[in-house]
Amino acid sequence: MDEVIKVEDGSIITPQGFSAAGLHTGVKRKRNDLGILLSTVPAEAAAVYTMNRVKAAPIGVTKASLQQEGRLQAVIVNSGNANACTGKQGITDAYTMRAVTAQQFSLQEHHVAVASTGVIGQAMPMEKIVPGIAQLHPEVDDLAAEAFAQAILTTDTREKSSCYQTTIDGKLVTLAGIAKGSGMIAPNMATMLAFITTDAVIQHDVLQQELRVVTDVTFNRITVDGDTSTNDMVIVMANGLAGNEPLTPDHTEWWKFEELLLKVCEDLARMIARDGEGATKLIEVEVFGAEGDEEAGKVAKAVVGSDLVKTAIYGEDPNWGRIMMAIGKSGVPIDPDLVDIAIGPFQMINRSQPLAFSDEGIRHYLANEEIQISIHLNQGEGYGKAWGCDLTYAYVRINASYTT
């Protein structure tokens, strides 16, 4: 297999040696709210975390686990309660989740990561969480994967997963990911939970570096509402059961691992943006011709994050002036006389000069569920992409009553 292929029926437990479970403990009213992802052996691991200065208790516990030797064997995660802004008791509760999970599954405590998502500022209902951990029975089947996927959701309307395979050193290598995220999405990093599994052989430090690179062009390029969560993280676990030679940038097939990780993360990022709270449309912005890739990415994210652009897309209004405004406020030096903008197949301006377009045609295009905006700055070779969603009345309704 000389290419990277999507596994349409794959899941977070498709890579060798991984199992999962999820169940309902009563932290949430109905859906599953506690889950575990487990590897049969300790896995090389990497993580990136929210840049919000207010961090939830599980962030510190997971950091402490990884700092010990860079390996993880399990992730215990709950939804419905963020365990954020909960003081010393919240930290104690997060460490208790780690300890109870380690004891239940005969693991070393520092091989367990902890993640939480949900309402901020409420004490963890440990009387539900602790007995719930004892009831988790990880399996390797579709039902177990789905149960775990449901256990990490909050205001999400759908599960989000992706899986790809390739061969490296003649060995089948699989990489899969699962994520949650719908509101409070402006990762930097993060504002969602994402868990990635692979059976590739790769060391912690190499994996950590590559995760940071890929995160910058995927999860850090999505925005729903411009707010950055207190909780969330991306964790990658690589248990090495594929048996390939250790992967580094010097490996002749390193590009295949890069593409595996990039494709899974980009799929998950798009799914999170598409499932923004109250969203009806996914918006993808591509920027060409910037002075560099970093500048292109900043412009793309500024456009997709503009409330005025987002509301125009919701209203199916071809108001390209709002796009131009967002480009100008991005903080990236541009020549305002050289900008090209297209909405889907319709060129709106060329070298900053308005063009005639079919009003009926573009309104028909804007009725689609996925909208593409292309921008050319005509100043260099830089390229970048970003994803977001429209801003709707439903977003206000959902967030006006989040805790009630």
**Residue 404: helix, strand or coil by DSSP?**
coil
DSSP assignment string, 272-320: HHHT-TT---EEEEEEEEESSHHHHHHHHHHHHT-HHHHHHHHTT---H
Instruction: Report which of 116, 239, 98, 238 is spatially closest to residue 180, judged by C-alpha positions.
Output: 116
Beta carbons of 219 and 187 less than 8 angstroms apart: yes
* DSSP conformation class of 385: E
CA distances (Å), origin 198, targets 45, 97, 272: 10, 24, 21
- Identify residue 55 by its one-letter amino acid code: K
Find the catalytic residue in 50, 191, 198, 223.
191
228 counts as catalytic? no
Integer Cα distance of 380 and 399 in angstroms: 41
DSSP assignment string, 24-78: --SSSSSS--EEEEEEEEEEEEEEEE---SS--HHHHHHHHHHHHHSEEEEEEEE
Integer Cα distance of 125 and 15 in angstroms: 33
Integer Cα distance of 257 and 165 in angstroms: 9
What residue has token string 């390739």?
A: 166
- Identify residue 230 by its one-letter amino acid code: T
What the block records as the tokens of 352 is 């900053």
CA distances (Å), origin 378, targets 139, 217, 227, 338, 356: 53, 21, 31, 6, 21
Q: Which residues are catalytic?
A: 191
